[in-house]
Structure 1
């Protein structure tokens, strides 16, 4: 949906995925859903909202945010320094 510019629909699906993941205690699912929301906001130029979602992913991940064996990374906006930042997650 994002590829077709249907950001509103993609955002609604990510919100629903977040609710479902939270209700079932699926932290990885929560992180994926919030990271998707972060990505949608960045694509739409909504950088403050993207930064908020990025910070939410970090809170969900907690102290487990380290270099991962499978190489997954989160990329987000550092609003203080106005640049992208990358964090490895398990």
Structure 2
């Protein structure tokens, strides 16, 4: 899932409505690309917390990728940076997966 633009209370419900149905397909891994998200507020964080809770309930790996320094700082201020799996970019994420 790739997001673009600010993630705030005006559009976090749309992100939630796009994210939650992904769990119905019983994936093993959901990745949210944040590389084009310059800002996230508490409602955006709450959307990701809900996604993380669902991932843990359903044994799904949940990764946030490419967070800008400003977005990463919000996660850090909320003491959530180490709660989420956050990676610098999508590059190389899936290399080697599915190989014996």
TM-score calculated relative to the size of structure 2: 0.36
> Of the two structures, which has the highest relative contact order with CA contacts closer than 8 Å and spacing of 6 or more?
2
Structure 1 or 2: more helix by fraction: 1
TM-score calculated relative to the size of structure 1: 0.38
